[in-house]
Amino acid sequence: MKRDRTVALVLGSFVLLAIAGPWLPQWAMFIMTVAFARGLVALGLLLLLRTGLVSFGQALFYCLGAYSAGALGRFFGISDIFVEMLVGGAVAAAIALVLGFLLARYRGIFFGLLSLALSMILYGLLVKTEALGSTDGFNILPSTLFGARPGPDWVRYTVLLSAAGVASVAALLVHRYLQTPLGRLAPAIKDNEIRVEYMGASARHAVHVKYVIAAALAGIGGALAATTVGHIDPEMAYWTTSGEFIFIAILAGTGNVIAPFVGALIYGAIHTMAYDVSPNTWQMSLGAALLALIVFLPEGLWSIAGRLRAQWR
Amino acid sequence: MAIVLQARGLCKTFGAVTAAAEVSAAIEKDSVVGLIGTNGAGKTTFINMITGYLKPDRGTIAYEGRDITRLPPRAITRLGICRSFQIPQLYGSLSVFDNMMIGIGIVLRNAGLAGYFARGAAPVPGFGRAAHEVAEHLLGRFGLAEYRDRNAQVLPGGARKLLDIALTMVAKPRVLLLDEPTSGVSAEEKFGIMQMVLDAVRAEGATVLFVEHDMEVVSRFAQRVLAFYDGRIIADAEPQAALADPEVKRYVVGNRA
């Protein structure tokens, strides 16, 4: 049997980042923190993709998480990173729990389009809500950590380290979950739902649980993005945002819980470079990258790891 | 003998087609019952109604005295009524071993022995052994050990059939319904497969109902035969008596003379 190094890899990366972090330039820390935020959303998508479901609406929960974090600062004066992420994740999970009763009934294109429609409803609501800044959104208070306000040189590092910590814990929990009987139902549901039902398990319940977990991760990611960027607007719920997450998930592949974060980082790099080279046609560069990926690496970036391992043997 | 399964006056129509018309049958515990009849006679409908895939328009089904007519498939499975399929229903992207482990995982979870973070290391109920041991044990019993690490999608036909049945055994069924366990299998393999299945099932202890078109298989393995025609049971007797019945000869076996 193949040895599982995921736990060591996650913990090792975290320690490495914690040590190397202070020497990183500010822009690199920013890109990495945003990558952790997007990676959390993509980690939820990994869970859904393994179950055979493509959600075109994870932006709904991403945006809910971001606005929850924003509302904390705007209405309660709270700007603690961990409180923001906790509340962001909890609000997203609670909404997903309710929506899940509807969505868990659907599969394939119906699941995808329904999830997209729900995120566009939130977009529509936010655009019309003056109290939340309508199309302009609003700014978020500078992040604090457990009541402490890090010095200006240390804010980025503090947020980065918090993001890395939360992402590591989330990755390890999902990794563990995928090894439990309930988590292992994911490929079973993808393959043959009839058989799952006739072995005494509820596919709908299993999908519902995975949908809520994915939403919570997206909510945490949204809160993290909000506090990192310092500004939120309804675009976070727009369908193109959901598209970005799917892009990342496909780019990364569903082979391992670390993949979404690697994918998000590379996506961020491609995005930044494309924007730098051609600010008006950056979508084209991104599109070309996706096309190349589908042609040459249909299983995502993570499949490279498998190929390398096979070669070394 | 105790009655384990009792169907009373089951009716089911699909538009103008009558799939079940007042079907009643009492199945004795630990018996092996063959269901025969031409295509469209109502055999699979009968199995589908018992396992909850179809709800009868009228009539009731009782399992050990308990009404199960309106229960969903997974609830019926949890009570101990399991089924295999005419077209094997496997987890095609997974290995044979993982197929078994998924099934055992569901059993553990239904028994409250595995949660969101527990990997389900507890002994499997009914077997008293760890999950992977139960998987190996059942694969051995069904002659599938050599296919252990093969993808379920690329198994030979007979092995697919056997895996489909082996998957039902993880839940320790008390009643097992086999929908054409030997269809799509070569004539030479048929007897071997039925023998292996019945040996395995008897070792675990269960009542068996099987749909079969080959009358030689039926008379060799069934203790009792239910003959279906046009949504009705036209004969309910021991194999020899049932196969000698004039109606059965005419509508099911066909006049070979």
B172-214 pLDDT, tens per residue? 899 999 998 888 788 788 888 888 888 888 887 889 999 988 8
Q: Do A191 and B119 touch (CB under 8 A)?
A: no
Whether residue A198 and residue B108 make contact (CB cut-off 8 A), yes or no, is no
> Which chain A positions have a beta carbon within 8 Å of B73's beta carbon?
197-198
The DSSP secondary structure of B96-127, one letter per residue, reads HHHHHHHHHHHHHHHTT---SS----SPBTTT
Region A184-200 average pLDDT: 91
Q: Which domain holds residue B67?
A: 3-88+174-253
- What are residue B234's phi and psi, to 5 degrees? -95, -10
What spatial distance separates the first Cα and last Cα of chain B, rounded to whole Å?
38
Q: How many CB atoms lie within 10 A of CB A77?
A: 8
Place of tokens 């005494």: A200
Mutate to test the interface with A, among B77, B78, B91, B148 (most CBs of A within 10 A): B91
pLDDT digits (tens, 9 = 90+) for B39-71: 888 899 999 999 999 999 999 999 998 999 999
* Residue B21 domain flag: yes
| Interchain pair B171, A200: CB under 8 A | yes
* Residue B120 CA neighbour count, 13 Å, CB half: 29
Residue A153 pLDDT > 80, yes or no?
A: no
- For residue B136, count CB atoms less than 10 angstroms from its CB and return exposed for 0-12, middle for 13-18, buried for 19 or more: middle
Say if residue A42's pLDDT is above 50.
Answer: yes
Q: Are B8 and B75 in a shared domain? A: yes
Residue in A185, A194, A198, A212 to test binding to B, most B beta-carbons within 10 Å: A198
Q: Please name the helix (run of DSSP H) or strand (run of DSSP E) that holds residue B26, with its range, or none.
A: strand B17-28
Q: What is the pLDDT of residue A231?
A: 93
Whether B9 and B60 have beta carbons less than 8 Å apart is answered as yes
In a domain, B208, yes or no: yes
Determine phi and psi for A5, rounding to 5 degrees.
-105, 10
Task: Assess whether pLDDT exceeds 90 at residue A241.
Answer: yes
Span B99-103, average pLDDT: 92
Which fold would CATH assign to domain A6-312? ABC transporter involved in vitamin B12 uptake, BtuC (1.10.3470)
Edge-to-edge strand list for the sheet holding B32-36 = B81-83, B175-178, B207-211, B32-36, B224-229, B232-237
Q: Note whether B91 contacts A192, CB cutoff 8 Å.
A: yes
**d(C-alpha A83, C-alpha A70), whole Å:** 11
A62 contacts A236 by C-beta, under 8 angstroms: yes
* Least confident residue range of A109-118, B97-106, B171-180, B245-254: B245-254
pLDDT, mean of residues A298-307: 81
Helices (H) and strands (E) in chain A, counts: 13, 2
- Other beta carbons less than 10 A from residue B231's beta carbon: 22
Q: Are residues B10 and B84 in the same domain?
A: yes
3-state helix, strand, coil in chain A (%, to 5): 75, 5, 20
Higher pLDDT, A37 or A313: A37
Nearest in space to B102 (alpha carbons), one of A190, A188, A204, A209: A188
CATH number of the domain to which B36 belongs: 3.40.50.300
Give domain limits for chain A.
Answer: 6-312
Give me the sign of the Cα torsion angle A162, A165, A171, A176.
negative
Mark yes or no for CB contact A198/B77 under 8 Å: yes
Does a structural domain hold residue B165? no
Which one, of A28, A36, A34, A30, lies nearest residue A10 by Cα?
A36
Same domain, residue pair B140 and B65:
no
pLDDT surpassing 80 at residue A309: no
Find the mean pLDDT for residues A64-91: 93
Q: Looking at the predicted structure, is the pLDDT value of residue B81 above 90?
A: yes
Residue A1: the pLDDT is 42
From the list B228, B226, B232, the residue with the least C-alpha distance to B209 is B226
At residue B115, does pLDDT exceed 80?
Answer: no
Q: For residues A221 and A157, give the distance between their C-alpha atoms in angstroms, rounded to a whole number.
A: 17
Write the DSSP symbol of residue B10.
Answer: E
In a domain, B166, yes or no: no
* Contact between B35 and B228 (Cβ < 8 Å): yes
| Cα–Cα distance for residue pair A176/A183, rounded to 1 Å | 8
| Residue A265 · residue A255 · CB < 8 Å | no
The answer to the question of residue B169 being in a domain is no
ipTM score for this prediction: 0.86
E strand or H helix at B24, and its extent?
Answer: strand B17-28
Higher pLDDT, A35 or B213: A35
Residue B160 belongs to a domain? no
In the predicted model, is pLDDT for residue B256 greater than 60?
A: no
Q: What is the pTM of this model?
A: 0.89
Which chain B residues are closer than 8 Å to A194 by Cβ?
85, 89
B118 in contact with chain A, both atoms CB, cutoff 8 A: yes
Q: At what angle do helices A58-76 and A108-128 cross, to 10 degrees?
A: 30
* Gyration radius (Cα) of chain B, Å: 18
Q: Please give the angle made by the CA atoms of A285, A286 and A287, to the nearest 5 degrees.
A: 90
Judge whether B159 lies within some domain: no
Among residues of chain A, what percentage have pLDDT more than 70?
99
- Would B202 be classed as within a structural domain? yes
**How confident is the model over A96-104, as a mean pLDDT?**
95
Work out the angle at residue A205's Cα, subtended by the Cα atoms of residues A200 and A207, and round it to the nearest 5 degrees: 115
Residues of A in contact with B51 (CB under 8 A): 198
Which is more confidently placed, B88 or A21? B88
Among B109, B113, B155, the residue to mutate for chain A (most A Cβ within 10 A) = B109
Find how far residue B111's CA is from the centre of its chain: 22
* End residue of a domain, out of B99, B123, B154: B154
State whether A180 and B90 contact (CB < 8 Å). Answer: no
Do B70 and B187 sit in the same domain of this protein? yes
- For residues A250, A253, A259, A263, the Cα torsion angle rounded to the nearest 10 degrees is -30
Domain total for chain B?
2
B257 pLDDT higher than 70: no
